[in-house]
Amino acid sequence: MRTLFGEKIFLRALEPADIDYLYRLENDENQWKFSSVSVPFSRNLLENYIAQSHKDIYEVKQVRLVICEKESFQAVGLIDLYDFDPKNHRVAVGITVYPEDSRKKGYAFDALIHLCRYAFKHLNVHQIYAGITADNEPSIRLFERAGFSRSCRKIDWTYQDNEFKDEFLYQLFKKDFLKFLK
């Protein structure tokens, strides 16, 4: 079984040809609330980011993969592993499907499952975690469907849309993922 290939998608590294897609996504103000971004990115900065994306996760503590639709090879999103902590065997995950008309087609679920498989198999992590604002119902459903469990609520953790929002911590442990796959 190839780890980064799902039923509907495959995951691949960033390529120079992704610059237009990345530029649109990163500079879409509607996407900023899902990250710590609050300023636009220059094309030059993103080109440099892509040029450096080949670096090893053990060096830069993160990796970004492009979610591609299997039939058309079109980019439909990005999925990230970040805050990689090899000492404690854990890594955070973040995902976005973009543009919005690519959502609700199963791409995010397929990508998340295969990225988890990759992280547990090739990075030997014990757990994968995600922070999700309490009002982000689509993400909560996605992560729960993929086997993640809510472990805590961080009160007024994220400032978004001119208000403080609670954030849930979701975790998936390797032993539970292996049961989930059966």
Question: Which stretch of DSSP H or E encloses residue 125?
Answer: none
Whether residue 155 is contained in a domain is answered as: yes
- What pLDDT sits at residue 33? 72
Tokens of 87: 């000492």
pLDDT at 72 over 60: yes
CA distance 3 to 182: 16
Whether residue 2 is contained in a domain is answered as: no
Quick: pLDDT tens for 105-120: 999 999 999 999 999 9
Whether residue 170 is contained in a domain is answered as: yes
The DSSP annotation for 5-17 comes to B-SSEEEEE--GG
pLDDT at 161 over 90: no
CA distance 122 to 3: 9
CA distance 29 to 69: 24
Quick: pLDDT tens for 122-150: 999 999 999 999 999 999 999 999 999 99
- What pLDDT sits at residue 3? 74
- What pLDDT sits at residue 160? 84
What number of other Cβ atoms are within 10 A of residue 158's Cβ?
20
Domain total of the chain: 1
Tokens of 6: 């799902």
User: Once rounded to an integer, what is the mean pLDDT over residues 28-41?
Assistant: 78
Whether residue 3 is contained in a domain is answered as: no
Give yes or no for a contact between 179 and 170, defined as CB atoms under 8 angstroms apart: no
More confident residue, 1 or 110: 110
Whether residue 4 is contained in a domain is answered as: no
pLDDT at 36 over 80: no
- What pLDDT sits at residue 34? 74
Q: Is 13 helix (H, G, I), strand (E, B) or coil?
A: strand
**Across-strand partners of 108?**
none
- What pLDDT sits at residue 168? 98
Whether residue 54 is contained in a domain is answered as: yes
- What pLDDT sits at residue 39? 80
Q: Residue 55 carries which DSSP code?
A: S
Closest by CA position to 139, among listed 101, 103, 99: 103
Structural domain that includes position 138: 9-181
Whether residue 147 is contained in a domain is answered as: yes
Indicate which CATH number applies to the domain containing 106.
3.40.630.30
- What pLDDT sits at residue 1? 44
User: Once rounded to an integer, what is the mean pLDDT over residues 25-52?
Assistant: 85
Average pLDDT, the chain: 93
CA distance 67 to 102: 11
